[in-house]
Amino acid sequence: QVELVESGGGSVQAGGSLRLSCGVPRNAWIFNCMGWSRQAPGMEREGVAVVYTNGGITDYADSVKGRFTISQDKAKNTVYLQMNSLQVEDTAMYYCAAARTNGGCSAEGVLRFNNRGQGTQVNVSS
């Protein structure tokens, strides 16, 4: 397994923005899918966003479409999740994850990625 390290979480008021970062070891670019999932207390984990690393194609959960943007910077070995217009419902632990798939990448599929970081907490207050 590959160690992924998230950062950038914190507390923000509703309507605010945060950018999460995921440090990716150089050998992790063998993965063709990188993504983010989240889990709120008492809730099931949700796949939030994914990027196909070889082409940049992205996919998002309906709950974050238009507000969140996933991107990658291979030169910096980093995957980002830009979160705008944050809502109280976005409060959760956010996890970076990676996988090499035979098919495409989907936000929902992030839940099945077997390489994941320890998470970074995001708190959104009203």
pLDDT in 10s for each residue of the chain, 126 residues: 778 999 999 999 999 999 999 988 776 667 889 999 999 999 999 999 999 988 889 999 999 999 999 999 888 888 999 999 999 999 999 999 999 888 889 999 999 998 999 999 999 999
Distances (CA, A) of 13 to 19, 51, 52, 89, 103: 14, 27, 31, 12, 38
Closest CA to 6 of 92, 102, 67, 106: 92
Closest CA to 11 of 115, 107, 126: 126
In the block, tokens 């397994």 appear at 1
What is the identity of the amino acid at 84? N
State how far the Cα of 98 lies from the Cα of 117, in Å rounded to an integer: 9
